[in-house]
Structure 1
């Protein structure tokens, strides 16, 4: 979700139904070939979490830690929250990873401040959380905005990352498809995100103000240059779904081609929401990337 979403997300915040939001979305009756048109709910929360609120950069950042072993942090997409990783967490724990999930500032259970949003700021939040948890270096799996945050850290603080898996991310605004928010699947996600915000946030009545802050960032960012991508030394996979609604396929190819040694993963028959639509396949490719020699 980026600047093109501004009209749709603000409409949700004001309770106005746009044509895109009224469009139907495929349900469980959809044929397997149409799974990319569905929006399954996140899986139930895994057991065994140690949770807390970390004081970082003037906010309280929600986190949960599962298991023991090699640390990996999972970063969700814009408007969502860490519950979207519930299917991947137990798979990683079973492979001897210490899994850290977090809600980005203003998202989910985390608070926000008046400070303008930027990917640099959100990257700083993540690194401050890792410092708080005494994790000097970690793998990072990011979806959408989470993937962009991962790219920002890989560019500016590569010593903090072992590997980066970025799904559904873009490096600049030219990578976005026009009017992608009119997709029924995206419209349904935006509507769900508003409901989740009211349920989880400590300021459930401030959704409009939150959207305004985030939208200001999306109107100009990210803006990574080709030289910055070429300078990435972290082992990286650039991934997306075959039916991605928001990111141009050529842009995904460009990022994978420009980042030295990057792998390109295009998951079949899923979209921007592949982690929900086919979690078994999504989890498999993430685990393969994180564990391959």
Structure 2
């Protein structure tokens, strides 16, 4: 199924690959669209899961509104898709802004979040490295081309969407490590070794999560899903399929966590 679905009163483009497997919701990055992840991760993931994706307001085939972009509103969209399309909890796989949204959904509606995979994701605005993004770069050119091909608002609205997106990333998100510590679901944190999100920030995200796992992919940037989709799928599938916490021969961080949990249970 692919088409417009009423999500909170707004026609929203949703694609549901169907099947009887457990649902998995793909959450695309900022200035991107659901096709980007469906084309790269969809083929491998859909062999094992019912893959669902949607275009957030002002992205892809979903029209914009006059409102500014805020992650809280984007998380509400995702919750509505989970309730209305998935029909309940799902694994959440989010890239960049999509990863932020996955974290917010897990915090606000833990009943709808199974396992999480967050790719190139910052939990605080300070986690983005101070780099100048060139609107004339190949990445921006490709994002603009994809927007013009899909947007019902027309090519003239692209400048406004870029403005809203840049304003969003300059001011949000503002989660803390204490917030992250409330997320009890298993979370796989993935980043490129040359990511837009600073590596110490990525590590702090991982370390704040009670049930986190970390993968840093060599030779990869913030565009990891586009650069190395097979590598990424190869990390995601075993993580989602695993039962229980990781069992390793020399646990250190996890040994401390297990001991702490045992103390709390007394």
Q: Which category describes the TM-score, using the shorter chain as reference length?
A: 0.7 to 0.9
Distance 1:239 1:135 in 2: 27
TM-score normalised by the chain length of structure 1: 0.78
- How many Å apart are 1:180 and its aligned residue? 4.9
2:35 corresponds to which of 46, 64, 83 = 83
**3-state SS of the aligned residue for 1:181?**
coil
Whether 2:10 is the aligned partner of 1:59: answer yes
Report the alpha carbon displacement of residue 63 of structure 1 after superposing the two structures with TM: 1.0
Give the match for residue 237 of structure 1. 188
How many Å separate the matches in 1 of 2:18 and 2:45?
9
**Is the contact made by 1:54 and 1:132 (CA closer than 8 Å) also made in structure 2?**
no
Given that residues 23 and 86 in structure 2 are in contact (C-alpha distance below 8 angstroms), is that contact kept between their aligned partners in structure 1?
no
Summarize the alignment of residues 112-191 of structure 1 with structure 2, pairs less than 5 Å apart: 112-181=64-133, 187-191=137-141
Aligned residue-pair number:
240
Moved more, 125-134 or 226-235: 125-134
Structure 2: unaligned runs, 5 residues or longer: 244-266
Choose the corresponding residue for 2:205, options 255, 264, 288. 255
In the alignment, what sits opposite 1:279?
229
**CA drift at 1:291:** 1.0
Q: How far apart are residue 209 of structure 1 and its match?
A: 1.9
Q: Tell me the residue number matched to 2:62.
A: 110
Q: Which contiguous aligned blocks of 4+ residues in structure 1 show a shift greater than 3 angstroms?
A: none
**Over the residues paired in the alignment, what is the CA RMSD in angstroms?**
1.6
Calculate the TM-score normalised by the size of structure 2: 0.86
Unpaired runs of 5+ residues, structure 1, are 1-49
Q: Name the CA distance, whole Å, in 1 between partners of 2:77 and 2:50.
A: 19
Task: Report 1 or 2 for greater relative contact order, CA contacts < 8 Å, sequence distance ≥ 6.
Answer: 1
| 2:167 corresponds to | 216
Match of 1:196 among 139, 146, 165: 146
Q: Is the 8 A contact 2:185 2:211 kept in 1?
A: no
Task: Tell whether the 8 Å contact from 1:59 to 1:112 is kept in structure 2 after alignment.
Answer: no
Partner of 1:16: none
